[in-house]
Amino acid sequence: MQKITYILQKVVDLGMIISLGLLSIIISLEVFSRYLFNLSLPWSMDVNRMLFVYLIFLGAGASHSEGASIQANLFRDFFTKKIFLSSSFPSDSKNP
């Protein structure tokens, strides 16, 4: 069972890498084609949207397998422990 989980995690990680790489390439191609040729690619926004959705869902699965939850931790991580404990975040299931 652990081998299957390991393989599945690697497939999800590879999917995130591919999705992020394609997203970067297509956005760069769109920017260059707009400014160099004054031509917009009509399909790029739809593909970028789908790749971004896949990236988010694959990232959610990857974070869940590591025991993390999907939440904005950026500001919380900058707080000290004392300030964090005085404030309450309803989405937190455990205290740091």
- Give burial (CB, 10 Å; 0-12/13-18/19+) of 19: buried
The total of other beta-carbon atoms located within 10 Å of residue 14's CB is 11
pLDDT for position 89: 56
pLDDT digits (tens, 9 = 90+) for 49-62: 999 999 999 988 88
Which amino acid, residue 37? F
pLDDT at 33: 93
Extents of the domains making up the chain: 2-69
- DSSP SS3 for 68: coil
Encode pLDDT of 59-91 as tens digits.
888 888 777 766 666 666 666 555 656 555 555
Query: So what's the pLDDT on residue 65?
Result: 79
pLDDT per residue as tens digits for the range 11-30:
999 999 999 999 999 999 99
- More confident site: 24 or 96: 24
Q: How far apart are CA 62 and CA 1, in angstroms?
A: 17
Q: Which of 63, 80, 82, 79 is nearest to 71 (CA)?
A: 63
